[in-house]
Amino acid sequence: MSTPARDALDRHATPWLFATALATTAPHALHQPTWLSALSGAVLLWAAWLWWKDRRLPGRWLIVLMVAGGCAGILLEFRSLFGRDAGVAMLVMFMSMKLLEVRSRRDGMVAITLGYFLLLTHYLYSQSIPTGLWLLATMWLVTATLVRLQGGPASPPRDSLRHAGVLCLQAIPFMLVLYLLFPRISGPLWGLPLDAHSGKTGLSETMSPGSIAELVQSADIAFRVRFDGPLPPKQKLYWRGPVMEQFDGITWQPYKGRYRTPQLAPVSPPVSYETTLEAHGQRWLLALDAPTGLPAETSLNGTLTAASREAINERRRFRLSASLDYRFNTSEEAAVLRRNLALPAERNPRTRQLAREWQAGNPPEAIIAKALTLFASEFTYTLRPPLLGRDGVDDFLFNGKRGFCEHYAAAFVVLMRGAGIPARIVGGYQGGEFNPLDGYLVVRQSDAHAWAEVWLEGRGWVRVDPTAAVSPSRIETGIADALDLGEPLPALIQWRADWVRTLRYRWEAINNAWNQNILGYDPLRQRELLARLGLPDADWRSLATALGLACSLIVAGLMAWALYRRPERDPVVRLWQQALRHLARRKVDCAPWETPLDVARRVREQCPELAVTFQPVVDAYLVARYGKSDQALKTLRDAVAQLR
């Protein structure tokens, strides 16, 4: 295959393309299958080696074969060639293989286009600040590669980088205008294909021993809360998730049938707050117990769990209010009570035997107190409980005596049901970490928790947290203090040194500001901003107009800047332009193709009285511009000054 000389890619441009390919594909190694990263890495190395040795690039048929093989691999891995993961995997593979066939500048341009596209794909996985910074730097690099390809072999690398940097800087105003004014659709900044929501961490809808302990080992943020008033006491911060009533001996599940509308009687005045939920793939809002005020498009179900109409698949912000002390369903349906007394037959006989013993003659409050006293006396709070057998609760209560919140909650509920008190498990989060720098309460996956709720005659459903009896510090200060060192908690949570904590607070505050203000810029906020700019009720038409106007203004500004700057470069030219403007005011107009001597002739003909003062200007200008003399600038300046 021959390449026309004009279009041939010079040898020293290829390393730029390698850098582009590496920078745009490497971060995908964090989430794509290892074999794919290894394959594209190997292909890149091969291409680099061929370049280094100045060998012939492989033939077209070989590349076609490799692409086919890669596609087959992707098809096997993802069961599809479409969707986010498979699509990105294809792009990464194409990028590396394209470098095996860069012969002409056109091939280089294809690689660069692919590079720009790959830049975008990173935002499908992460929109964090480091990602943004990395992609900004990469965009600079890709643009510099583009400049290098257009500039040819003569342009040194520093020039390409500088040129690309200027281009990127000039793009910033456009970026800001587009960001602020481009009509927003309600949804995330980065709309994702369907497969993007698999593997989201978060509370699950069911609970079995160990399920929460696993979740607690993640330091990921579940949601952030900002209270309008002061922060309520930590032991009252119960963030309510699913309520689980059905127990098969191992797993707890919510009841899927109908409930009547909950009857909630607030006792304390409501506190209002704003919560920013990370995507967790479920519908519940994890509202503070008990939710009294709910935003539109959300509702409260029969078990007091606030839920959105759709699954929360992107970061969402809600305004809520809650009453920390409340009464809930003081009269309850018989069916619900029956359901909350049911226990699987032939499971956990010892526990049920113990409960029956307690039930004899004791009021419910006394039974609850007995259970809590039992937990407080002999039990240990740990993330590493011993394995439990078929009768899990029996094993836990009488043999292991070591467990995590779900063990205590489950054992407590089984005891209560056995003693004839309706009881159920509530999943959610407890507590959170207050960041004094920005005033946000950060609730992480490690704050996941399970507690119990019992129904008492006259008081309705009452929250009982058996974990608080075992390990009061879990509820009062947080999980890191409740567990011994050496428990498998994330390092981020475990570090207790002050400076680490301060650093972490600062970083989280910055991150939060980024999430709230940059990523959380939604249609509502756009409307608010436009209203503040004097554009109330902006529809897409006025937005488009504003957008067009702002872009034109920027273009005009940049052009004015460029035009203003150019004459600055050479004082000789600037002085001559000044003299020409002087002539123009005297109605002596000169065309740009007229030489200075032509101009002098024209002055003599059209404006003879000016000729005497103008001739020295011409003479000095010609010497200064076309001659060798260095002193001519001053002569010219004096001569131009004489024109006035």
Partner 1 sequence: MLKSTLSALGGRPRALDGVLEQAGQIILGKDHEIRLAVACLLANGHLLIEDLPGMGKTTLAHTLARLLGLQFSRIQFTSDLLPADITGVSIFERDKSEFRFLPGPVFAQLVLADEINRATPKTQSALLEAMEEGQVTAEGQTRLLPTPFFVIATQNPAHQIGTFPLPESQLDRFLMRLELGYPDRTAERALLSAGGQRARVEQLSPMLLANELPGLQSEAAAIHAAGPLIDYVQALVEATRHNPAFQHGLSPRAGLALLAAARAWAWLAGRDMVLPDDVQAVLPAVARHRLRSAQGGGYALAEDIAALMRSVAIP
From the list 163, 391, 405, 447, the catalytic residue is: 405
What are the Cα distances from residue 479, in Å, to 219, 241, 432? 12, 19, 10
Q: Which two tokens stand for residue 344?
A: 């699987």
Binding flag, residue 522, partner 1 (CB under 8 A): no
Q: How far apart are CA 11 and CA 3, in angstroms?
A: 14
Segment interacting with partner 1 (CB under 8 A) among 16-24, 268-276, 415-423, 610-618? 610-618
From the list 85, 289, 447, 465, the catalytic residue is: 465
Segment interacting with partner 1 (CB under 8 A) among 18-26, 180-188, 308-316, 585-593? 585-593
Of 205 and 570, the one with the shorter C-beta distance to partner 1 is 570
**Among residues 604, 606, 613, 643, which is the contact residue for partner 1, using CB under 8 A?**
604
**Among residues 502, 595, 631, 642, which is the contact residue for partner 1, using CB under 8 A?**
595
Smallest separation (angstroms) from partner 1 to the CB of 615: 7
CA 27 vs. chain centroid, Å, equals: 15
Q: How far apart are CA 314 and CA 223, in angstroms?
A: 12
Q: How far apart are CA 363 and CA 421, in angstroms?
A: 10
From the list 449, 537, 590, 598, the catalytic residue is: 449
Of 409 and 624, the one with the shorter C-beta distance to partner 1 is 624
**Among residues 491, 593, 630, 644, which is the contact residue for partner 1, using CB under 8 A?**
593
> Which amino acid, residue 361?
G
What are the Cα distances from residue 159, in Å, to 21, 66, 172, 458? 21, 37, 20, 80
- Contact call for residues 427 and 241 (beta carbons, < 8 A): yes
- Contact call for residues 112 and 145 (beta carbons, < 8 A): yes
Binding flag, residue 598, partner 1 (CB under 8 A): yes
Of 170 and 629, the one with the shorter C-beta distance to partner 1 is 629
Segment interacting with partner 1 (CB under 8 A) among 220-228, 334-342, 493-501, 619-627? 619-627
Segment interacting with partner 1 (CB under 8 A) among 114-122, 323-331, 377-385, 592-600? 592-600
Q: Which two tokens stand for residue 451?
A: 């507690």
Smallest separation (angstroms) from partner 1 to the CB of 636: 12
Backbone angles phi, psi at 67, to 5 degrees: -60, -45
**Among residues 594, 607, 637, 643, which is the contact residue for partner 1, using CB under 8 A?**
594
Q: For the range 563-571, what are the long-range contacts, defined as Cβ-Cβ under 8 Å and sequence gap of 24 or more?
A: 571/633, 571/637
Q: What is the dihedral of CA 37, 40, 44, 47, to 10 degrees?
A: 160
Partners of residue 449 on adjacent β-strands = 428
- Contact call for residues 225 and 431 (beta carbons, < 8 A): no
Binding flag, residue 6, partner 1 (CB under 8 A): no
Smallest separation (angstroms) from partner 1 to the CB of 562: 17
Binding flag, residue 625, partner 1 (CB under 8 A): yes
Of 77 and 619, the one with the shorter C-beta distance to partner 1 is 619
- Catalytic residue list contains 449: yes
Provide the phi-psi class of 54: left if phi over 0, else alpha when psi is between -120 and 50, else beta. Answer: left
**Among residues 66, 67, 456, 622, which is the contact residue for partner 1, using CB under 8 A?**
622
Q: At what angle do helices 14-25 and 83-98 cross, to 10 degrees?
A: 160
**Among residues 213, 221, 405, 600, which is the contact residue for partner 1, using CB under 8 A?**
600
Is the N-terminal amide bond of 497 cis, ω within 30° of 0?
A: no
Q: Where are the alpha helices (DSSP H) in 256-401?
A: 334-339, 349-359, 364-378, 392-394
Segment interacting with partner 1 (CB under 8 A) among 1-9, 105-113, 513-521, 593-601? 593-601
Is the N-terminal amide bond of 290 cis, ω within 30° of 0?
A: yes
Segment interacting with partner 1 (CB under 8 A) among 139-147, 166-174, 553-561, 614-622? 614-622
Of 262 and 616, the one with the shorter C-beta distance to partner 1 is 616
- Catalytic residue list contains 405: yes
Binding flag, residue 591, partner 1 (CB under 8 A): yes
Q: On the CB side of 491, how many CA atoms lie within 13 Å of its CA?
A: 1
Binding flag, residue 596, partner 1 (CB under 8 A): yes
Q: How far apart are CA 447 and CA 216, in angstroms?
A: 7
Of 312 and 599, the one with the shorter C-beta distance to partner 1 is 599
Smallest separation (angstroms) from partner 1 to the CB of 573: 8
Of 6 and 256, the one with the shorter C-beta distance to partner 1 is 6
The footprint of partner 1 on this chain (CB under 8 A) covers a number of residues equal to: 21
Binding flag, residue 410, partner 1 (CB under 8 A): no
Binding flag, residue 608, partner 1 (CB under 8 A): no
- Contact call for residues 413 and 466 (beta carbons, < 8 A): no
Partners of residue 453 on adjacent β-strands = 424, 463
**Among residues 72, 552, 627, 641, which is the contact residue for partner 1, using CB under 8 A?**
627
Q: How far apart are CA 3 and CA 13, in angstroms?
A: 16
Smallest separation (angstroms) from partner 1 to the CB of 574: 14
Segment interacting with partner 1 (CB under 8 A) among 26-34, 429-437, 450-458, 591-599? 591-599
CA 496 vs. chain centroid, Å, equals: 27
Binding flag, residue 317, partner 1 (CB under 8 A): no
The length of the chain is 644
- Catalytic residue list contains 163: no
Instruction: List residues near partner 1 by CB under 8 A.
Output: 591-598, 600, 604, 611, 615-616, 618-619, 622-623, 625-628
Active-site positions?
405, 449, 465
